[in-house]
Structure 1
Amino acid sequence: MLITEVTIYISAGLVMLFLGGEGLIRGSASLSLRIGISPLVVGLTVVAFGTSSPELLVSLKAAIMGNSTIALGNVIGSNIANIALILGIAALIRPLEVHANVIRREIPIMIVSTVLLIIFLSNGILGFFEGLIFVILLVAYTVINIILSFKENKEIEVEFEEGLKSKLNIPVSILLIVFGLALLFFGADLFLKGAVALAKIFKVSDAVIGLSVVAVGTSLPELFTSIVAALRKQSDISIGNVVGSNIFNILSILGISAMIVPIKSEEMSYLDFGVMLAAALILLPLSYTGFRISRWEGGLLIFGYVAYLLIIF
């Protein structure tokens, strides 16, 4: 692929990702208010799962084609980028308020999922049985979140009373969500093609491509969605999107991929697993400081991500 083609793919992908993030945020925030589900839960489910669809597509393709290195590297790299890069940038734009439920429930679930992945891969392979466990846990997590959200319905109505006055109707909200997801999906695919072609020109290994270029490329929907959410003061969706995506990446993407083809971790290093776990763990103390992630903390996260990239390259 020529440099000109690469530039077109990347530029078109970025435009589609921004428009997709805008549509997804408008539609999902409005839908959540209309049916009585908190924006946090929408961020943890609809938005998180939707913006993780590029990771799912890439990892499934890679696993079926026998390249489990890219499949696993994609998830590990995406989970690191989601916290260190995406939340870092979103916090720089606007300090992020952290919902108490995220600290009490969602972040611990993300940490447990990460630890489980490391344990399952201690023998170097993620097989069908481990994949099945992940998928079962994902279904349970999603159902519990939705049930708990409806129980909090009264509090949600009071908290978002102002938003309820101006929300879009359900058909328009759903249309915006579908439109946003479609743009995110195709935009990420275009960007990914250009980015991988560019990486191949510089002869970068599959492990590094998976951990960096592919991971960042497939995490762009989360990036643009979180940026738009931060600009619109929807920090619940911004943080819920990232935490939910990380849980989804492990439980669903690796779960489904492992049930189809065993995932091997032979080219992954202890550093990669360690940084992924550290990124998940550091979110707890950062969130506890005033129940918000400040700009300087966002800068700290970005600094850590850049340092990690320099090491693996």
Structure 2
Amino acid sequence: MMLLPLSAVALGFVGLLWSADRFVGAAAATAYRAGMSTLLIGMTIVALGTSAPEVIVAIMASLDGTPDLATGNALGSNIANIGLVLGVTALIVPIPVRFSIVRRELPLLLGATGLAGYALADGDLSRYDALLLFALLVFSLWWLFRADGNSGSEETQDGEIPDMALPKALAWLIGTLVLLVASSRLLVWGASEIASAFGVSELVIGLTVVAIGTSLPELAACVASALKRHHDIAIGNVIGSNLFNMLAVLPMPGLLAPGPVDAHAISRDYPTMLLLTLLLGCWLLWQRHGSLGRIPGALLTLIYVGYLGLLIQSSITGA
């Protein structure tokens, strides 16, 4: 009985991760061929693309009547990105901290995390809350683009843009978007079936299976870059991904399926995400010209492992 849902989750993950990577490349190539600057592509399409799996899963889950899965995915992905992705990467190789990240991206992430807490505080995620989060997303994109332009940096993203003609890029864009939607539907269905079969809440499934699965691109990229000693952008990638999770993923259930939020998301999961975000922020401020080393990496990883243990215990006891 469980073979079909498990297969759906596995196939959904594979399709989601493969198509998300190709979708970002096709979108960047399309925009580049259409005349967008490489800077603008890097600040918008590529950045938003890192959260494409989470966004699509959130949309499908909300439309399928499982908004808690979407909420759990947003919160769980942020917890996994800091506790698992950054924690494990820092354990492998200390990650240098760029001051520009501390000055530019970190305040936005802290602001987004605070606004998300405000949106969840009353136990209800409404369309008003969703619009507030989307408004901060628009401001964040404007701020990042403006700050990057004012820095006078000549750095481009050409290495991240596939060399495709416009017709081919458009074909890949449409094809991978279809696969993204299909894979996410498969994943959401399989995860919901597993949750029902084991009596586990959709929130917990979203916080664990779906969140870890949709964080796999960040984990793979960060670990690979650490092993190759090209790890200086790892923190920026995680902060950017977490920022978009709060401002583009979390609003989806509020926009498409507004209503009450699982109480555990407010009392257990958001505080864990807030704790990890504040710990990361404090360490980055302290080491703004240093690195995220093995000691904070071990601390972040231990907190994440402890959090997973808490989730397992609460699932067993039904608390």
TM-score between the two structures when normalised by the length of structure 1:
0.76
User: Which deviations, in whole Å up to 9, do the C-alpha atoms of 1:18-66 show, x marking residues without a partner?
Assistant: 877987999999999xx6649xx94x64444212112112222222233
- Answer yes or no: is the 8 Å Cα contact 1:36–1:150 preserved in 2: no
- Answer yes or no: is the 8 Å Cα contact 1:128–1:262 preserved in 2: yes
| SS of 1:49 mapped into structure 2 | helix
Determine which of 205, 211, 214 is the counterpart of 1:215.
Answer: 211
Q: Residue 255 of structure 1 aligns with which residue?
A: 251
Report deviation, 1:196. Answer: 5.9
| SS of 1:235 mapped into structure 2 | coil
Give the count of matched residue pairs. 302
User: Which deviations, in whole Å up to 9, do the C-alpha atoms of 1:226-283 show, x marking residues without a partner?
Assistant: 3333344443442222111111111112234322321422332412121111111011
Alignment of 1:206-245 (within 5 A): 206-245=202-241
Query: Which whole-Å CA distance do the structure 2 matches of 1:133 and 1:230 have between them?
Result: 36
- Give the 3 Å change call, closer, same or farther, for CA 229–211 of structure 1 in structure 2: same
Q: Residue 145 of structure 1 aligns with which residue?
A: 144
Query: Which whole-Å CA distance do the structure 2 matches of 1:104 and 1:131 have between them?
Result: 26
Query: Which whole-Å CA distance do the structure 1 matches of 2:148 and 2:283 have between them?
Result: 25
Q: Residue 200 of structure 2 aligns with which residue?
A: 204
Query: Which whole-Å CA distance do the structure 2 matches of 1:168 and 1:54 have between them?
Result: 19
Q: Residue 87 of structure 2 aligns with which residue?
A: 88
| SS of 2:283 mapped into structure 1 | helix
Query: Which whole-Å CA distance do the structure 2 matches of 1:46 and 1:167 have between them?
Result: 11
Alignment of 1:260-299 (within 5 A): 260-268=256-264, 269-287=266-284, 288-289=286-287, 290-299=289-298
Q: Which amino acid aligns with 1:242?
A: V
Which blocks of at least 5 consecutive residues in structure 2 are unaligned? 313-319
State the identity as a percent: 34
- Answer yes or no: is the 8 Å Cα contact 1:192–1:218 preserved in 2: no
Q: Residue 58 of structure 2 aligns with which residue?
A: 59
Query: Which whole-Å CA distance do the structure 1 matches of 2:50 and 2:56 have between them?
Result: 11
Q: Which amino acid aligns with 1:280?
A: T
Q: Residue 125 of structure 1 aligns with which residue?
A: 124
Report deviation, 1:146. Answer: 2.1
Query: Which whole-Å CA distance do the structure 2 matches of 1:95 and 1:24 have between them?
Result: 31
Query: Which whole-Å CA distance do the structure 2 matches of 1:297 and 1:28 have between them?
Result: 36
Report deviation, 1:17. Answer: 7.6
- Answer yes or no: is the 8 Å Cα contact 1:45–1:142 preserved in 2: yes
Aligned: 1:312 with 2:308 = no
Report deviation, 1:135. Answer: 1.2
- Answer yes or no: is the 8 Å Cα contact 2:56–2:181 preserved in 1: no
Q: Residue 317 of structure 2 aligns with which residue?
A: none
Q: Residue 106 of structure 1 aligns with which residue?
A: 105
- Give the 3 Å change call, closer, same or farther, for CA 25–93 of structure 1 in structure 2: farther
Which blocks of at least 5 consecutive residues in structure 1 are unaligned? none
Query: Which whole-Å CA distance do the structure 1 matches of 2:186 and 2:206 have between them?
Result: 16
Point out the more displaced range, 299-308 or 103-112: 103-112
Query: Which whole-Å CA distance do the structure 2 matches of 1:47 and 1:234 have between them?
Result: 19
Query: Which whole-Å CA distance do the structure 1 matches of 2:294 and 2:12 have between them?
Result: 28
